[in-house]
Structure 1
């Protein structure tokens, strides 16, 4: 029969038939709880979004109030899929790693769903191919020219003139929804027509903003991709040509809602293609 001895710092001392034994106490360390919080924004205008639902894959969900903020307390550390949904917006999911005892801030930026007649153009690129010697991110910029107007000429949407994503002044009003100057984008421009289909002639291209600086990769080396989404769900994808000289990828024209690429989709130099159309080489 074992007789309990005194409690030691490291365990229990016991005796059995004059033989001493030692039973260690095992202390199990429980991970400290973590916290996840952030703000949900409208990606076009930086407004905070209320009534957005934020859920983690464990089944916990919270809803944002007027300040757009959300918070999860006392979460077990680990990797989680976090999904944000809101009526009339495109949902977004991110993978987030929560270390033990961490307080992680993760904001989300949502774009609205497209409605009748609307077109959204998104540009992404390779964020690995940075340029030396400072390992700086590349910066690609969207450029969209609108149909000619007797009162204002050609309207040019770019980082210097983003348009207004809320107040539409004519039949096919474009705006730069998202401008990105680091990483892999995305940059996003949208056409918000009052009538369907989009009316008039547009020209669209992508500028390699830092082209000409020492060490900057050519736009042909940056794996640039353009995706065109329409309100009815169709998409078209375009990839940057692998050859050509210039700082500008002239991607396509849009004529009364129809995307035209014949004799286009080439590398050239920046300028208004509607005024001075470049001569693209025949594939």
Structure 2
């Protein structure tokens, strides 16, 4: 297959950065869509192109010559997604969309706002005329990065003590994304990507602490307290409301074997992830 050019959105973040890094490692031409190319820090071998998903009319230059797009939608609403996909479809043949485990495109009144917008985006992608792959990861292990400062105090305070999550390493999601972008065998599929075990919040703290050899205890806090802390940290209200809603039940996240089936290697554990990011917690 001729060398391809891939456009990666969200490449300055943990997940998009992992995709860009792994793509560049294959020798693929990688472009990262960023708002400000002068300030973006990206993996070696990745070219920056200016663009903003909230302004689809300005995306054309970034997409010229692009074969496929790794799409991370940065908003909690699907408004504007159709316009963005129309621009993508004028240039690329495929989009790999980072959705979420539990997304249901056929449910328009889902009371989970995060799963609702992912379902709406999946529907928009399907209607775009592009080849597509919907990646449906479970909760990212990187969601625990915010615990770093608390780990250094010896106490982690967080809500949802007994909520089981099948934490997935961003490197495993990126490995599947690379396959989906470069090869044809995943087109039209929705792989569900998880780690090898489902752990409650209390267990996650314990596992990370044990792996890093530090003494840390966990204290559960009310969702109202967590929401107040998040707002004080500058997190937008709509995201705070989605993350810390108290009027719905969280479904446990079961594990799947999709990562291993696609990549040929067992999914990384939270212990693996903690070792890869140790400097955040003990640095």
Structure of larger gyration radius: 1
* Higher share in helix: 2
- Give TM-score, length-normalised by structure 1: 0.26
- Give TM-score, length-normalised by structure 2: 0.26
* Higher share in strand: 1
Bigger relative CO (Cα 8 Å, ≥ 6 apart): 2
